[in-house]
Amino acid sequence: MVVRSVVRHSAYADSVTLMRVQQEVRRQAGVEEAGLVLATEANKALLQQAGLLTPEASTAGPDDLVIAVRAVSEEAAARALAEAQTLLSRPRASAGGDAYRPRTLAAARGLLPQATVAAVSVPGRFAAGVAREALREGLHVFLFSDNVPLEEEVALKREAAERGLLVMGPDCGTALLGGVGLGFANRVRRGPVGIVAAAGTGLQEVASLVHRWGSGVSQAIGTGGRDVSGAVGGATTVRALGLLADDPATRVIVLVSKPPDPTVAERVLAAARGTGKPVVAVFVGADVADSGTVSGARTLAGAARRAVLLAEGAGAREAARAGEAVEAAALPGPLTHEAAQLAPGQRFVRGLYSGGTLCAEAQVVLRSYLGRVRSNAPLDPADALPGTGPAVEHTLLDLGADEFTQGRLHPLLDPTLRLQRLAAEAADPAVAVLLLDVVLGDAVEPDPAARLAPAVAQARAQARRHGRTLCVLGSVCGTDLDPQDAEAQTAALREAGMHVLEAAALAAHAAGRILRERGARGGPPAVPRLAVPARAVPPPDPGPLRALLEGPPAVVNVGLGLFAESLARQGAQVIDLDWRPPAGGRQRWLDLLERLEA
């Protein structure tokens, strides 16, 4: 066995291309393992764990691309490295089938003059510049990129407002505009429920449950998680509320986020009341008091159920009771039987989430049963888990957080990291319950159950060999219309031994009940209670933003090619930019360019 690598200094390839080439190289004769990553410290640690970190790779910098292989011979390793470099040199095909991909936004506008939105998913240090260029071309911006400086977000949203445009993001995972999904979006029927969300998987969970429970979604506008921070001030959230207030197809609005800054919460809730429409607010980790047309829900499932009933004409009190009842279901019989077989030392829950909002919601639920719950994205700073280190006692991880995705794909696209953590947590004899989310939709992994189900079955079998029972719980965020088909995914996961509940909150409640029976003690967590201002403040008139919702968007895609492919499959007009980092991504040259521009 030999391990060899090539380091390509300041080389750019998008993360999806790297994943696809890596998969091809792994299939080469004589190759045991392969890795293609940017040489961030986190990725070098993963190479080390996989036995692929060579001396030259260990000294590479975060702008360098490492191609590493483990093969049965020097010849096989050399062939694999050569094949990887050949595959990387091939130009990416256009999503529309045309071989030509323009290099600039101005050229893209010339080819698609009716374009309304730029979907930007380039590395974070370049994203603000691309978004600013898009605004100056008259395009709304769907900014998927993360690791964008906060001051850049503030400046971008200020410029967008001045130009009568909208910036959704940064770190905006999804949106549904005119029946077309941007980013990680589920396919849902059109209907009367509009969504404004500073939470990507929160938006997906609500939209999927609204669909599953018989209603539909008019529009869903993502804002990016920091939009409700004090620095950003709810800039996109308030403007989006104005859009949905003006939209005749929207009868009920669901407002989703983690707890906003208190001043921003007051501004947003006043604007929600000012829409004149029923608004269900779910601020995961805070309670919103019912007042007037605005009502609060504690979970995403509760908010979706309440919204569906309000859209159907039910009274506010009936809708509120139904929303709360969603969480009161008893444990399924087979799960009760399995939980009774846990070994005496099994006391902890470990959660591995691809959705940050679902991770936060699970923390809220579990704290009422267990007390303290650790996380890399904690609701209480005192419960922070340092970095990407090992879990401690009750731990829930958001594997889509910046520290896990810098220089590598989001877990919705590449589950490798989650599968590694799953095996590690399942091997801990103190773990009783594993909590997982499975998120479907366009532009995510085409068959999540194909890799997750065998890992679940293997983890449970390993526990049995050591005289333990491992309860694996979760939910599938998706619909029957999604390319993966939620029912088929659910069936495959259940066959592997995973208990799949109807919503993420229900899975967290089930985990809490199991551990409470084993002596865990918690209590209602102290969460802020937010009052809806008595005075309604109408959100700003949408003005030129109205055009954004008048029909399906025409999109210029800048970054991940799979987003362009997804848009094309949905029948949207899309042109895929042949984007390359300025100055070849070399930091010294970028610094020089910045000084020259200044």
Look at the block and give the residue holding tokens 């979604």.
217
**Portion of the chain with pLDDT greater than 70, in percent:** 92
pLDDT of residue 20: 82
What distance in Å separates the CA atoms of residue 113 and residue 263, rounded to the nearest whole number?
Answer: 40
521 has a pLDDT exceeding 90: no
Per-residue pLDDT tens over the stretch 82-124? 999 888 888 776 665 556 889 999 999 999 999 999 999 998 8
pLDDT band for position 180 (50/70/90)? very high
Q: Of the ranges 8-12, 48-52, 446-450, 460-464, which one carries the lowest mean pLDDT score?
A: 8-12
pLDDT of residue 42: 75
pLDDT of residue 548: 93
pLDDT of residue 100: 81
pLDDT band for position 400 (50/70/90)? confident
Question: What are residue 281's DSSP bridge partners?
Answer: 255, 296
How many CB atoms are closer than 10 A to CB 534? 9
pLDDT of residue 332: 77
* Mean pLDDT, residues 360-368: 93
Q: What are phi and psi of 479, to 5 degrees?
A: -135, 175
* Mean pLDDT of the chain, nearest integer: 90
Please, are residues 144 and 121 in contact by the beta-carbon 8 Å criterion? yes
446 has a pLDDT exceeding 60: yes
What distance in Å separates the CA atoms of residue 430 and residue 347, rounded to the nearest whole number?
Answer: 6
Q: In what order do the strands lie in the sheet with 499-501?
A: 374-375, 395-398, 348-353, 431-439, 471-477, 499-501
* Mean pLDDT, residues 334-359: 92
pLDDT band for position 328 (50/70/90)? low
Torsional class of 74: left (φ above 0), alpha (ψ -120 to 50), beta (otherwise): alpha
- Picking from 269, 268, 276, 273, the residue whose alpha carbon sits closest to that of residue 227 is 268
What distance in Å separates the CA atoms of residue 527 and residue 287, rounded to the nearest whole number?
Answer: 7
- Picking from 464, 379, 203, the residue whose alpha carbon sits closest to that of residue 371 is 379
Q: For the chain, how long is the longest CA-to-CA vector?
A: 75
Please, are residues 317 and 219 in contact by the beta-carbon 8 Å criterion? no
pLDDT of residue 38: 83
Which residue has better confidence, 414 or 504? 504
pLDDT band for position 589 (50/70/90)? low
Three-class SS of residue 288?
Answer: strand
What distance in Å separates the CA atoms of residue 422 and residue 123, rounded to the nearest whole number?
Answer: 28
Q: In what order do the strands lie in the sheet with 2-8?
A: 2-8, 65-71, 31-38
Question: What are residue 34's DSSP bridge partners?
Answer: 69
Buried b (16+ CB within 10 A) or exposed e, 4-13: bbbbbebbbb
* Mean pLDDT, residues 207-215: 96
Where does 39-116 show beta strands of DSSP type E?
A: 65-71
DSSP state of 544: G
Per-residue pLDDT tens over the stretch 402-428? 777 766 678 888 888 899 999 999 999
pLDDT of residue 414: 85
581's tokens: 């980092």
Per-residue pLDDT tens over the stretch 122-146? 988 899 999 999 999 999 999 999 8
* Mean pLDDT, residues 265-281: 96
Question: What are residue 375's DSSP bridge partners?
Answer: 384, 396
Q: Domain 95-171+548-598 - what CATH class?
A: alpha beta
pLDDT of residue 390: 82
Three-class SS of residue 494?
Answer: helix
Q: Matching CATH topology for 2-89 and 331-516?
A: no
Q: What do you get for the CA distance between the two ends of the chain, in Å?
A: 53
- Output the CA–CA distances (angstroms, integers) from residue 275 to 70, 204, 409, 413, in the order listed: 60, 23, 38, 37
* Mean pLDDT, residues 239-260: 96
What distance in Å separates the CA atoms of residue 598 and residue 591, rounded to the nearest whole number?
Answer: 11
Per-residue pLDDT tens over the stretch 452-479? 999 999 999 999 999 999 999 999 999 9
Q: In what order do the strands lie in the sheet with 574-576?
A: 167-168, 140-143, 117-120, 555-558, 574-576
Per-residue pLDDT tens over the stretch 5-38? 999 887 777 777 887 888 888 888 999 989 888 8
Q: Which CATH number fits domain 2-89: 3.90.820, 3.40.50, 3.30.70, 1.10.3470?
A: 3.30.70
191's tokens: 């209907």
Q: Domain 331-516 - what CATH class?
A: alpha beta
Taking each helix axis as running N to C, give the angle between helix 150-162 and helix 235-246, from 0 to 180 degrees, rounded to the nearest 10: 40
511's tokens: 């985990």
pLDDT of residue 594: 59
Instruction: DSSP for 477-531, please give it.
Output: E--TTSTT-HHHHHHHHHHTT-EEESSHHHHHHHHHHHHHTTT---------EEP
- Picking from 108, 114, 105, 121, the residue whose alpha carbon sits closest to that of residue 573 is 114
Please, are residues 430 and 348 in contact by the beta-carbon 8 Å criterion? yes
**Portion of the chain with pLDDT greater than 90, in percent:** 66
Tell me the domain boundaries of the chain: 2-89, 95-171+548-598, 331-516
Which residue has better confidence, 484 or 417? 484
- Tell me the whole-structure pTM to 2 decimals: 0.89
* Mean pLDDT, residues 178-192: 95
